[in-house]
Chain A
Amino acid sequence: MANILECRGLVKKYGSFIALNGLNFAVPEGRIVGLLGTNGSGKTTLIKLAAGLLRKDGGEILIGGNPPSEKTKMDISYLPERTYLYSWMKVRDILDLFADFYSDFDRNKAVDMLRALHVDTGLKLRTLSKGTKEKVQLVLVMSRRARLYLLDEPIGGVDPATRDYILNTIISNYNPDSSVLISTHLISDIENILDDFYFIHNGQVFLQGSAEELRNKEGKTVDQLFREVFRC
């Protein structure tokens, strides 16, 4: 099984602060992987490096065997923690923008999803609530046919019904050639859809494993393990 994302000894520093400290990490093809860690553990930094938004300071990061570049960006659909969309644009205009920008963007799929989520595409982003903005952003990201989906806290700000819809979207979007990396604090909400999990701590992988094996061999949920490991 080939790895879509692979990091070896990855290092990233912000000034004197070491955000990633020799991280080893892999996302194989056709897997849904949970990137879990306490606040400030390096999750977002890792995702931004994979998305090609930050430059590494050491080690290696490969997307489909290649270092991040304009080309690898086309294979990646990235949901940032914060929105980067223009607030003066209408939802409909943003759909056009994405259709122009990404050849793999499926506009019909996006429209169907927005309808299911009761989002009016004639409204300006500025007028939408925080949760609705997040829905729009997620719809845009999931409507691309990418090889790697990087979802940074996709379910943090939305209501439980939308959360279910998002998880459904991730499941129905599944295909054996693409992978999903999800960072989140809300482990129990997503753990039934995870293949593998990584616990990140101080910029390194603290623990990793298969969610099913953990349940089967140790009789624990990922959430329980996380609470045990990172008990304050």
Chain B
Amino acid sequence: MAWKFADGKAIYLQIMEYILMDILSGKYEMGQKIPSVRDLALEAAVNPNTMQKALSEMETYGLISAQRTAGRFVTTDREAIERAKEAMAKNFTESYTNNMRKLGYGHEEMAAIIRNLSTESAEKEQNAATDRKTD
């Protein structure tokens, strides 16, 4: 299954996000070898040069490191990953707040919605837990 890419945004940037997510979600562990450019290009159904560019960019951010013959590995530098995670969290939040502002919401209202949402989902979880007990 090919990866999904949004229109009108450089694919190498989207690939970087994909792979970073794979690192953050634990699909690739720290220090783990990642597949070759060709295999990743096939998996994503993208041009191998584009995949190459995405991986080189990730190297310059210190997220992966290339070893001459052995291939590419996820960094063992926890801080580098942490920095990338924060940058990504900021991106997600910005796109959320931008959309919400268009709808006319201010930051306080957004915060309230998020708080409500998290109480709701906590309640749901609790209910589900009680349901399981009564079953």
Contact = CB atoms under 8 A, between A and B. Distances in A.
Nearest to B1: A164
B47 A171 contact: yes
A212 B45 contact: no
Contact size range, A: 20 to 34
Given A174-B38, A192-B5, A30 B49 contact: yes
A171 B9 contact: no
Contact size range, B: 10 to 19
Contacts of A174: 38, 41, 47-48
B11 interface: yes
B10 A193 contact: no
A128 interface: no
Contacts of B104: none
A103 interface: no
Contact of A171 (B12, B45, B53): B45
B21 interface: no
B30 to A, nearest CB: 29
Nearest to B51: A171
B10 A216 contact: yes
A206 B27 CA distance: 45
Contacts of B12: 212
A221 interface: yes
Contacts of B46: 171, 192-193
B92 to A, nearest CB: 19
A219 B41 contact: no
Interface in B45-76: 45-50, 53
Contacts of B41: 171, 174
A168 B7 contact: no
A212 B8 contact: no
A215 B13 CA distance: 10
Contacts of A172: 38, 42
Interface in B1-21: 2, 5, 7-13
B8 A195 contact: no
Given A30-B49, A32-B47, A193-B47, A171 B42 contact: yes
Contacts of A43: none
Interface string A204-224: 000000011001101111001
Contacts of A221: 7-8
A30 B49 CA distance: 8
Nearest to B39: A172
A59 B13 CA distance: 40
B8 A215 contact: yes
Interface string A157-179: 00000001001100110100000
A99 interface: no
A212 B42 contact: no
A194 interface: yes
A31 interface: yes
Interface of A: 30-32, 164, 167-168, 171-172, 174, 192-195, 211-212, 215-216, 218-221, 224
24 contacts: A30-B49, A32-B47, A164-B2, A164-B45, A168-B45, A171-B42, A171-B45, A171-B46, A171-B47, A172-B42, A174-B47, A192-B46, A193-B46, A195-B49, A212-B50, A215-B7, A215-B9, A215-B11, A216-B9, A216-B10, A216-B13, A218-B8, A220-B7, A221-B7
Given A168-B45, A171-B42, A171-B46, 20 more contacts: A30-B49, A32-B47, A164-B2, A168-B42, A171-B45, A171-B48, A172-B38, A174-B41, A192-B5, A192-B46, A193-B45, A193-B46, A195-B47, A212-B12, A215-B8, A215-B9, A216-B9, A219-B8, A221-B8, A224-B8
